[in-house]
Structure 1
Amino acid sequence: MLKIKLFAAFLIFFLSQNTFASPARIVSLAPSVTKSVMLLGSSSKLAGITTFCPDPSGSIDKIGTVLEPNIEKIVSLKPDLVIASKEGNLPGPVEKLRKLGIKVYVMDAYRNFDDICLSFIELGKVIGREAEAEKIVTNSKARIDAVKKKTLTLSRPAIFWEIGAQPLYTVSDKSFVNDFIEFAGANNIFADMPIAYPQVSREEVLVRNPDMIFIVMMGDINENERSSWQKYGTLKAVKTGNIHILNDLVFLEPTPEAFAEGTEKLNKVIFEKKGGAGQ
């Protein structure tokens, strides 16, 4: 009996040190975290967000940037929980907050859609919204399966996904973005690169000769980037008029719902573009 009581006491202590009570005041250190909290119906719990985060009420306190959060400001907000992301936040501020006795939960990194779903569900557990997270993930997977089913018998165009212009950057199959491309019914011409976000040259793009080019509006990229490809007349994408600008946050937000929406939109562009590949 004594052993059972000792074990029970140990178990309670262990769980208290390794779980989070459902928080009432949350500080988010990344836009993806804020968006996830909002999707889970916990916007009212947000006590602080970064300057780059969506602000559902327009009045949530700002705690600095993703890379440089203001520690003093965060402490002053008296959060029950600070949520960070391995994808965007540096470990230094996280450790400083923990040393000050503030609970910090760090969302795992992700390299594909499955990782995004698992991370989202874990967040749901942490903030007391597991059932909502499971429902969103189930719905998102169903939407993506519907897109994949539509493309089973269609030829898959080869595409180049541009995320940086000077220098030129793209994505490989080590990035979750590659699942956008594959689920939508296309093939990534740089899927075989050894790192998630490789720098490439325009000459390499010419050699791999994509059927379509997708330019994501972020960083140093603007509408003029489309015209920079027009001079390469031998490219299939140029010949068929298949250079597309993607100016939509769903392609930048690693949440299950945004992923499903982005997959649907990308599929529509790929297969409904007149004269495009894969029709």
Structure 2
Amino acid sequence: MRPVRTLGAVMAIGIVTFATACGGDDGGSGAEPDAKTVTVQAANGAVSVPAAPKRIVSLSPTHTETLFAIGAGPQVVAVDAYSNHPAAAPRTKLSGFKPNAEAIIAYKPDLVVLSDDMDGIVKALEKVKVPVLLEPAAKNLDEAYDEIGDLGQATGHQAEAKKVTDGMRADIQKTVAASSKAKSLTYYHELDNQLHSVSSKTFVGQVYGMFGLQNIADKADKASGGYPQLSREYLLKQDPDLIFLADTKCCGQNAAALTKRPGWSDLDAVGHGGVVELDDDIASRWGPRLAEFVKAIGDAVQKVQ
């Protein structure tokens, strides 16, 4: 999913309640009438789902990772084509960008999880009484933790979800504490080889901000919503201390490739080991592997200081 978009709001923890189940004869959830349900507050409102859904469909790579990390993997029957982690995830041709209600309903889900309401898919599924949790891209760390908590509550794995978020918090705090503030260091985060980047106001930019790094893309971010496209001349003039490549998979970029770009071999980061090759997926998702992204930044900061 590229790039990470700043959508969504803080998700409050829901409460357990009893309500009429969401089943139906029209290909809906399949939950039994009067079954115990859990109400979760998501971006699409208060959503009632079976207390222990058995047929979950995920249309978000981030949420797929979360479901498996909190132990709900066995309950997942289908995920979208971009959900490539973990390997055990049941990938299909389903799309979160061009969702097809009929194709989703064919899996007889009792819960659908997604991060974007593309083409009115939420209402389309709600019409046939399929519970849908809309958990948009997190705008900050707290929202990322809240969404993991939401999925834990919705799937009957609340304790496991808390364990995951507690571990993430501890790992991130440890990494940041071990890396001295790098206020004098500048960086460039590359989304693709067309020089699209992120500004400090994005989720990704905020992660870098924890280390005190200065983002060279901020001055170029005017009307691009946090994702400016830099010119080669501008980037060469800025000469960042660190270059983070989040396009190693999509665009085949690496440290060696940068030396072939006109003028790039003269950059300080390229000449002195300041190029960091990131995993595209880890750098663009706000789920359980976020601590790995933070660790990659922390290691780079310590290396150059």
The verdict on a shared fold, with TM-score over 0.5 as the criterion, is yes
- Give the fraction of aligned pairs with identical amino acids, expressed as a percent: 26
CA distance in structure 2 between the aligned counterparts of 1:147 and 1:55, rounded to whole angstroms: 24
Q: Check if 1:114 corresponds to 2:142.
A: yes
CA distance in structure 1 between the aligned counterparts of 2:166 and 2:91, rounded to whole angstroms: 33
Secondary structure at the aligned position of 1:19 is classed as strand
Q: Check if 1:179 corresponds to 2:214.
A: no
Q: Is the 8 A contact 2:59 2:113 kept in 1?
A: yes
CA distance in structure 1 between the aligned counterparts of 2:249 and 2:86, rounded to whole angstroms: 22
Structure 2 residue aligned with 1:220? 251
Q: Is the 8 A contact 2:122 2:132 kept in 1?
A: yes
Question: Relative contact order (C-alpha < 8 Å, sep 6+): which is higher?
Answer: 2
Secondary structure at the aligned position of 2:289 is classed as helix
Q: Deviations over 1:137-188 (max 9, x none)?
A: 111111111122122455542110000112x200112321113323355332
**Residues 58/234 of structure 1: CA separation in 2 closer, same or farther (3 Å cut):** closer
Superposition pairs of residues 1-279 of structure 1, within 5 angstroms:
18-22=47-51, 23-54=53-84, 60=90, 62-86=92-116, 90-152=118-180, 156-166=184-194, 168-184=195-211, 186-191=213-218, 193-194=221-222, 195-216=225-246, 217-223=248-254, 225-229=257-261, 231-232=263-264, 235-247=267-279, 249-255=281-287, 257-272=288-303, 276=304, 279=305
Q: Give the Å deviation of 1:94.
A: 2.7
Q: Give the Å deviation of 1:201.
A: 1.3
CA distance in structure 1 between the aligned counterparts of 2:172 and 2:284, rounded to whole angstroms: 17
CA distance in structure 2 between the aligned counterparts of 1:203 and 1:103, rounded to whole angstroms: 50
User: Which stretch has the larger CA shift, 140-149 or 241-250?
Assistant: 241-250
Q: Is the 8 A contact 1:50 1:69 kept in 2?
A: no
Query: If the length of structure 2 is used for normalisation, what is the TM-score?
Result: 0.74
Q: Give the Å deviation of 1:131.
A: 1.7
Q: Is the 8 A contact 2:81 2:94 kept in 1?
A: yes
Q: Deviations over 1:180-221 (max 9, x none)?
A: 323355332224635232222122223332112111124335
**Residues 126/115 of structure 1: CA separation in 2 closer, same or farther (3 Å cut):** same
Q: Give the Å deviation of 1:225.
A: 4.1
Aligned length: 260
**Residues 61/186 of structure 1: CA separation in 2 closer, same or farther (3 Å cut):** closer
Structure 2 counterpart of 1:143, which letter?
D
CA distance in structure 1 between the aligned counterparts of 2:76 and 2:260, rounded to whole angstroms: 42
Task: Could you tell me which runs of 5 or more consecutive residues in structure 1 were left unpaired when the two chains were aligned.
Answer: 1-10
Secondary structure at the aligned position of 2:176 is classed as helix
Q: Give the Å deviation of 1:41.
A: 0.4
Task: Could you tell me which runs of 5 or more consecutive residues in structure 2 were left unpaired when the two chains were aligned.
Answer: 1-16, 21-37, 40-45
Secondary structure at the aligned position of 2:171 is classed as helix
Larger radius of gyration: 1
**Residues 222/154 of structure 1: CA separation in 2 closer, same or farther (3 Å cut):** closer
**Residues 60/221 of structure 1: CA separation in 2 closer, same or farther (3 Å cut):** closer
Query: If the length of structure 1 is used for normalisation, what is the TM-score?
Result: 0.81
Give the RMSD, CA atoms, in angstroms. 2.8
Structure 1 counterpart of 2:144, which letter?
I
Structure 2 residue aligned with 1:7? none
**Residues 37/156 of structure 1: CA separation in 2 closer, same or farther (3 Å cut):** farther
Secondary structure at the aligned position of 2:120 is classed as helix
Structure 1 counterpart of 2:57, which letter?
V
Q: Is the 8 A contact 1:147 1:184 kept in 2?
A: no
**Residues 219/205 of structure 1: CA separation in 2 closer, same or farther (3 Å cut):** same
Structure 2 counterpart of 1:231, which letter?
G
User: Which stretch has the larger CA shift, 57-66 or 197-206?
Assistant: 57-66
Secondary structure at the aligned position of 1:62 is classed as coil
